[in-house]
Amino acid sequence: AELDNARTGRSGSLAAPPVQFDATQKIDVNPPKGTRDFPPEEMRLRSWLFHNFREVSHSFGFEEVDFPVLESEALFIRKAGEEIRDQLYCFEDRGNRRVALRPELTPSLARLVIQKGKSASLPLKWFAIGQCWRYERMTRGRRREHYQWNMDIIGVPGVTAEAELISSIITFFKRIGITASDVGFKVSSRKVLQEVLRRYSVPENLFGRVCVIIDKLEKIPIDDIKKELMSAELSEEAVEELLQILSMKSLTELEEKLGDSVEALEDLKKLFSLAEKYGYSEWIQFDASIVRGLAYYTGIVFEGFDREGKLRAICGGGRYDRLLSTFGGDDIPACGFGFGDAVIIELLKERGLLPELSPQIENIVCSLDQDLQGVASLVASRLREKGQSVDLVLENKPLKWVFKRAARINAQKLVIVGSAEWQKGMVRVKILSSGEQYEIKVDELE
């Protein structure tokens, strides 16, 4: 009733006032700030990108899932000072519920896994392609929405899961012509950070917050990083030690510093050994400064970067073994990644790898006489029943107009219904690429 009232504007305590559109008011035909339309040309590129996401996900045995764009705000409230929290697109709905447009997919995935409980036989290998939102002050003119491809493995504690996820992204890159000379992966483990903080008796509950601060390395001045770390109760000595370790680029160097009994080192060595077996060693490198900006990562973290250093991170992910238990679920190990639809397109443009995607249609069907429009519809139906795509000309148009449209929609064949041919039960077919033409019985069309 509430919805009906709102829709019809019928009076009543719950009804929203009917929105009066002033006929003279010219509406803004542009999409809301920070959002995009996808007219056919852009939609073909998006569909091509998503098709490649799906093909790779299926080839790795992942099942597609999705969740509401609108979630309870509580799903994203984390007190670690993340940017994603500051930019939450949140509001109170008509039922006075605090809700948010999802800024990422992982919390929704965690929610669904918990909801499934024991009925979900582990491991789960799920993927999703979903629109995610942030409310950013438009001063920086950045987007407020993007589509993100996620792949997640739930229920596998070992780094074989992370190695498989990185392999899936590399498989995607190779499919679209990106090579190891274009893109690499920086890999580290948050257990490195955890070990250093443990050695300096930094309380565990500060771990997420420290990671979020460290993620700003190279984004804000180093002195600001130090100030923020000190404000998170790290001693000056701990800060210096931490920054020195985070500058390390080799596992050997790290081992000399931390010793060989550290779990982080075992994970990283195992991951690099698996990379060797997969054959993608040239794609990955250790970089201790990689922590990623989401508070919930607990182990291996990685991000795909453009080797020319012109673009923002292409994708990123890692292990998040505690997220499900923070939502009240069982402690189930998990890892995954997010891959946005924006930077990858910028990279493909940079490398001249954008695909040529023209509209594809097999037939355009028209009648030369408006009394034969019905016959044209019959011919179109016969072709469609045979699995052919048909653009049926719906009005009585001159042939010159039909040829122009055929060229615009890239039709392969022109099927003309003319009275002379139709009296013989025939139609005329013109192969538009060669100009070859012939008459044929409708039932013999294929």
Contact residues for ligand 4HU, defined by CB under 6 A: 103, 132-134, 143-146, 340
Taking each helix axis from N to C end, the angle separating 40-59 and 160-175, rounded to the nearest 10 degrees, works out to 140
196: number of Cβ within 10 Å: 22
For the chain, the straight-line distance linking the first and the last C-alpha, in angstroms and rounded, comes to 52
Packing angle, helices 190-199 and 251-258, rounded to 10: 20
- What is the distance between the alpha carbons of residues 315 and 61, in angstroms, rounded to a whole number? 20
Q: Which residues pair with 293 in a beta bridge?
A: none
d(CA 376, CA 369): 10
**Which residue bears the tokens 């010219």?**
26
CA–CA gap between residue 281 and residue 306 (Å, rounded): 16
Beta strands in 218-343 (DSSP E): 284-286, 300-306, 315-319, 334-340
Tokens 């789960």 belong to 124
Instruction: Please state, as a whole number, how many other Cβ atoms lie within 10 Å of the Cβ of residue 282.
Output: 12
- Residues 6 or more apart whose CB falls under 8 angstroms from that of 210 comprise 193, 197, 202, 229, 232, 234
CB 234 within 8 A of CB 200: yes
The residue written with tokens 């799906």 in the block is 54
